[in-house]
Structure formats: C-alpha cells, structure tokens
Structure 1
Amino acid sequence: MVITGQRRRWAGLPVFAVILALVAAVGALAAVDAGAEYLALERPSWAPPQWLFGPAWTVLYIMIAVSGWLAWSARGWTPALGVYAVQLLLNAAWTPLFFGAGRYGLAFAEIVVLWGTITATIVMFRPISRPAAWLLVPYLLWVTYAASLNLAVWLLN
C-alpha cells in the first residue's frame, strides 16, 4: 500500500517523535548520575532546581519534534531540515560532554554552537512554516539560559 497525501504527512509525525526520543535517550544515558553531580556542583543562585530539567526537556522535545514535522510536511526534506538535524546532534552531544565527561568549558563551546544552529533553524523554518519556527523559540530561550548556567558552572568549578 502506498501512503500518499495526508496519510503520508501524518505518518511522518511518529518518525520525528522517535528521533527526538533517541536524542533524549542519549542525554538520559549520559546523565544517569547527573542529579547527584548537579547538586554537588557550585551553582549560581539563579540555577533552577534539579527536578525542573526533566519536565522542561519533555515539553521542549515534544515542541522540537512537532516543529521538525511541520517543516517536513510543508516542503519535504530541505536544507533547513539538514540544519535541524545538526542541532539535534549537538543537543545529544551536550549532556555527555557536561555530565559524562565533566568538560564544562568544552560543553560551553558546544552549547554556543548549538545556540547558533537553533537560531539558524528558526530563521530557515520561518518561510517554510511559521508555526515550526515559533515552536523552536522556547527551546532557544531555554538553551540561552542553559548556556549561561553552563558558563557560570564552568567558572565556579
């Protein structure tokens, strides 16, 4: 059976969900002891409580998956989705660098590049699908906050 039109469009959503679940799994595997490590770090007074990361990332990953799916369903595979894929790889790499390897400076450099690729993805998604672009804005804001937290932890530790 050939999937066409609307069926093809909706069939893509679980693919994006699985991809984001894999990105989240990489982070989760690298962060098995992250809670204890986070609590042991010198943190700035504005650092969020440990329990906030899981719910925040769950919501963000859902929004990232829907964003990618909207862009894909609007135009298929485009260079914008290539940049989207790069930012997913960078997203997956940050947790192993920060928590797994304890390389706070390298993790900061990596999150700056991640921030740039998220920004580029938003800019490239905008003409394809405005909702896809807007769904990434909370992610960009969270990564901006996370980058400043990463820098502060690096400097304090």
Structure 2
Amino acid sequence: MLFVVFLIACGASATTGVMFKPGDWYRSLDKPSWTPPNWAFPVVWTVLYVCIAAAAARIAPLPGSGLAMALFVAQLCYNTLWTPIFFGLHRMKVGLAVIGLLWLLVAATLLAFLRLDIVAGLLFVPYLVWVTIAGALNFEVWRLNRDRMATD
C-alpha cells in the first residue's frame, strides 16, 4: 500500500512533464551531440519513478526514517519544480540552479536511504545518474544557447 501512495506522489511530480512539454522552443535550441533521444525521457522517468516509490516505501515504516523521508519530499519538490522553470518559463540558467539543488538532494536522500536500507539506497542510484546527465544537458543547452536568451 505504501508503494502505491509513493507512486501516486511521483505521478503528481511527473504531471509537470505533461503540462510543460519541450515543444518548438526546445526543438529550436542547439543541443550537444550526446543528447538522449526524445523517446528516452518518458521511458527513463517511468522506470525511475517506480524505483523511487519502491525505495520510499521501504524506508517510510522504518524507525529513524524522519530525516530520510524529509529529504525524499524535498527532492521530489525540486524534481517537480525544474520542468515548469526550464520548459515553461524557458529559464535555462534558473533551471540549472534548480537541478543543481535537486542533485544535492537526491544524493543526500540516497545516502540517508543507504544508512537505513541498502536496497532502498541502491534503488536511488539510477536516479542520481539520470539527474547528473540531465544537469549536464541543462548546462550544455544553456551554454550553447545563452547568446540567444534575452534574460535569465
């Protein structure tokens, strides 16, 4: 049952991806050659959200899980925030700051989860890898297009 609750929470976070699609603006930007194909994003995020929800469901009932769950909630908030900032407002530099904080929160959550349950911590490893890739992609897209942005 806890898994379903956390999967719904992750699904709520994922709705920003439906509401703020990349669209023509993103397609028009210069991107690095290593940019993942468009179809990879929903596939990867679906798998990641299942892993994230499973990890949280393992941690939540454990004694001493308060800090770990607070970090879980914080990282999910920053996860939710990035898409409307980057794709909705077209604020690549602000998005870079948000994803930097997200990376720190995901890493802290991973470590807190590892201390309580090794499987839960390991379920967060692919998420940290993906946020690392997304952060690098955010940086490169900003770097390649910063001369085209009026403000940020």
1:73: how far off? Answer: 2.9
Match of 1:26 in 2: 16
**Structure 1 residues 1-157: aligned runs within 5 Å:** 11-31=1-21, 34-75=22-63, 78-157=66-145
1:35: how far off? Answer: 4.2
In structure 2, how many angstroms separate the alpha carbons of the residues matched to 1:154 and 1:117? 22
8 A contact 1:39–1:50 mirrored in 2: no
Same amino acid, percent of matched pairs = 39
1:77: how far off? Answer: 5.0
Secondary structure, in 3 states, of the residue corresponding to 1:81? Answer: helix
In structure 2, how many angstroms separate the alpha carbons of the residues matched to 1:134 and 1:75? 19
1:17: how far off? Answer: 1.0
Cα root mean square deviation, aligned? 1.3
Structure 2 length-normalised TM: 0.90
Which ranges of structure 1 fall in alignment gaps of 5 or more residues? Answer: 1-10
Which ranges of structure 2 fall in alignment gaps of 5 or more residues? Answer: 146-152
8 A contact 1:118–1:140 mirrored in 2: yes
Residue type matched to 2:16 in 1? V
Secondary structure, in 3 states, of the residue corresponding to 1:49? Answer: coil
8 A contact 1:35–1:50 mirrored in 2: no
In structure 2, how many angstroms separate the alpha carbons of the residues matched to 1:37 and 1:75? 47
Residue type matched to 2:13 in 1? V
Structure 1 length-normalised TM: 0.88
8 A contact 1:126–1:133 mirrored in 2: yes
8 A contact 2:110–2:125 mirrored in 1: yes
Match of 1:3 in 2: none
